[in-house]
Amino acid sequence: MSLAIFDLDNTLLGGDSDYLWGRFLVENELVDGAFYERENLRFLHEYEAGTLNILEFLAFSLKPLAAMEPERLAALHRQFMAEKIQPIILPKARALIDKHRRGDDTLLIVTATNSFVTRPIADALGIEHLIATEPERIDGRYTGRVQGTPSFREGKVTRLEAWLEAHGENLAGSWFYSDSHNDLPLLEMVEHPVAVDPDDTLRDHAQARGWPIISLRDNAG
Q: Which of 9, 105, 183, 197 is catalytic?
A: 9
For residues 17 and 13, give the distance between their C-alpha atoms in angstroms, rounded to a whole number. Answer: 8
Q: Which of 7, 18, 179, 197 is catalytic?
A: 7
For residues 157 and 1, give the distance between their C-alpha atoms in angstroms, rounded to a whole number. Answer: 21
Q: Is 7 a catalytic residue?
A: yes
For residues 1 and 10, give the distance between their C-alpha atoms in angstroms, rounded to a whole number. Answer: 26
User: Do 197 and 10 meet the contact criterion of CB atoms below 8 Å apart?
Assistant: yes
User: Do 111 and 151 meet the contact criterion of CB atoms below 8 Å apart?
Assistant: yes
- Alpha helix stretches (DSSP H) within the chain: 17-27, 33-49, 54-61, 63-66, 70-80, 91-102, 115-124, 154-167, 184-187, 200-209
- Provide the annotated active-site residues: 7, 9
